[in-house]
Amino acid sequence: MYVHLKLVKEPWPSDRWQTFFDRAWPLFKIWYESEGLDKRPDLVTCRSLLELHMPELIPVYNTLCRIAKEDDVASRFLSMWCPPPYMAGCSQVAWTKGSPTLIRNYDFDPRFFDGRLRYTEYCKPVIGVQDSGWGLLDGMNADGLAVALAFGGRKVSGTGFGIPLLIRYVLETCSDVDEACATLARVPVHMGYNVTVMDKSGKYATVYLNPDRPAVVIYQAVATNHQHQVEWDEYAAFTHTIERKHFLESCVADPKLTRAAMIKQFLKPPLYSQQYLRGFGTLYTAAYDVTKGRVQIIWPEKQVEASFKRFEEQDVEVVLLKPVGRYLAK
Same domain for 45 and 161, yes or no, is no
Res 220: pLDDT: 96
Domain finish residue from 79, 114, 136: 79
Q: How confident is the model at residue 127 (pLDDT cuts 50, 70, 90)?
A: very high
Calculate the average pLDDT of the chain: 96
Q: Do both 73 and 102 map to the same domain?
A: no
Q: Do 163 and 294 belong to one domain?
A: yes
The whole-angstrom separation of Cα 108 and Cα 85 is 14
Predicted confidence at residue 215, as pLDDT, reads 98
Query: Is the pLDDT at 324 greater than 50, yes or no?
Result: no
Tell me: do 239 and 195 sit in the same domain: yes
- Please give the average per-residue pLDDT across 39-61, as a whole number: 98
Residue 328 resides in a domain: no
- Residue 275, pLDDT > 70, answer yes
Residues 216 and 309 in one domain: yes
Of the three residues 55, 79, 103, the one that is the final residue of a domain is: 79
Write out the H or E segment, with its range, that includes residue 206.
Answer: strand 204-209
Residues 21 and 121 in one domain: no
Which of 58, 79, 100 is where one domain is finished? 79
- Mean of the pLDDT values across residues 137-159? 98
Are 310 and 316 contacting, i.e. CB atoms less than 8 angstroms apart?
no
Same-domain pairing of 25 and 131: no
Same domain, 202 and 65: no
pTM over 0.75: yes
Number of domains in the chain: 2
pLDDT of residue 87: 84
Is residue 86 domain-resident? no
If asked whether residues 117 and 246 sit together in one domain, one would say: yes
Residue 74, domain extent:
11-79
User: Is the model's pLDDT at 328 over the cut of 60?
Assistant: no
pLDDT value, residue 325: 45
* pLDDT band with cut points at 50, 70 and 90 for residue 49: very high
Looking at the DSSP assignment, which residues form a beta bridge with residue 32?
A: none
Contact assessment for residue 83 and residue 199, using Cβ atoms and an 8 Å cutoff: no
Weakest mean pLDDT among 32-36, 201-205, 275-279: 275-279
Q: Tell me which H or E stretch contains 314.
A: strand 314-319
> Would you say residue 267 lies in a domain?
yes
The helix (H) or strand (E) run that includes residue 70 is: none
Residue 4 is assigned to a structural domain of this protein: no
pLDDT at residue 256 above 80? yes
- Residues 45-59 as b/e (b if ≥16 CB within 10 A, e otherwise) read ebbebbeebbeebee
The predicted structure's pLDDT at residue 326? 42
- Predicted confidence (pLDDT) at residue 153 exceeds the cutoff of 50: yes
On whether residue 326 sits in a domain, the answer given is no
Same domain, yes or no: 243 and 203: yes
User: In this structure, are 244 and 188 located in the same domain?
Assistant: yes
CA-CA-CA-CA torsion sign (48, 49, 52, 57): negative
CA dist 179 to 57, 175, 218, 275, Å? Answer: 17, 7, 15, 36
Establish if 101 belongs to a structural domain. Answer: yes
Q: Are residues 296 and 156 in the same domain?
A: yes
**pLDDT tens-digit map of 64-86:** 999 999 999 999 999 999 999 98
At residue 322 the predicted structure's pLDDT band, cuts being 50, 70 and 90, is low
250 to each of 27, 107, 222, 231, 256, how far by Cα in Å?
A: 40, 21, 10, 23, 11
What pLDDT, on the 0 to 100 scale, is given for residue 327? 41
Q: Which pLDDT band holds residue 323 (cuts at 50, 70, 90)?
A: low
Q: What is the mean pLDDT of residues 263-285?
A: 95
Q: Is 278 inside any structural domain?
A: yes
Residue 148 belongs to a domain with what CATH number?
3.60.60.10
Q: Is residue 330 part of a domain?
A: no
